[in-house]
Amino acid sequence: MARGLGKGIGALFPTETLEHLQPNEEQIEKIALQKLVVNPFQPRKLFDDEAITELAQSISEHGIIQPIVVRKKGKKYEIVVGERRFRAAKLANLEEIPAIVKDLTEEQMMELAILENLQREDLTPIEEAEAYESLMEKLNFTQEELAKRLGKSRPYITNHLRLLQLPDEVRDLVNSGQLSMGHGRTLLGLKNKRRIPEVANKVIKQSLNVRQLEVYIKQLNEEVSRETDKPKKKDIFVQATETQLREYFGTNVQIRKSKNKGKIEIEFYSEDDLERILEILQLEQE
């Protein structure tokens, strides 16, 4: 699934920030690799070793076509854009690399590093979610504002951010590709949150797809309900309706009926999650 930006960096920073990245032959310098340090704001945590090796082979044969972007800090240079090229250059045993040195603030450095990576399509869902979170915190954007700036739907942004509610060990499984984004979202519907890591490992061991995981979590949630409320077994119509509502709202939904009345319970796990559900219902918080 392509996850790049819809409107590009210019949608966020149409003038000032982009001027810092405009290449100019006179600005290109050769910088020793030993003087370079990675960007502390780099959102990418995982690098494909095979892809780096292929890039290193290309660099050995053709050289580095596009210079990296750096900023000077003390006696070192921090990489703003181009860490993959830097890693590949080291692998190719180069001693120096062409670079454009820019005078950037830490905020501009973070923004450009995140946006450059968001335009690629190989960020993991967790890395993408962390990038969105960083942009929202640093630029004081709401989810709605960020979605508009990036040309994304708000549910798209929200669904990614929800993944950050997963326990760290489960986020690592999504990051490594052992679990999909769909698995991660489904795991968040588990009532007993302490069992999420256990269920995540079961998914991997038994190679459960998302639909199978949904069925399993539904069974676990019903067990929790029996332990607490001891409800009567629901009829087939109610169960089918619950399934439809869970798929529609993207969270756990319970229908409870008594002799003369009933109620529908829609679970949410954060203020953002509540806003997402209210948006689906076309309501606004007062």
Residue with tokens 């690799």: 33
240: CB partners within 8 A, 6+ apart: none
Q: Is 242 a catalytic residue?
A: no
Characterize the bridge pairing of strands 68-73 and 96-101.
Answer: parallel
Residue with tokens 């070192």: 76
CB 87 within 8 A of CB 27: no
Measured in degrees and rounded to the nearest 5, phi and psi for residue 219 equal -65, -45
d(C-alpha 12, C-alpha 275), whole Å: 24
d(C-alpha 122, C-alpha 258), whole Å: 50
CB 253 within 8 A of CB 245: yes
Catalytic annotation, pick one of 29, 54, 83, 227: 83
Helix or strand or coil: residue 267? coil
Q: Looking at the annotation, which residues are catalytic?
A: 83
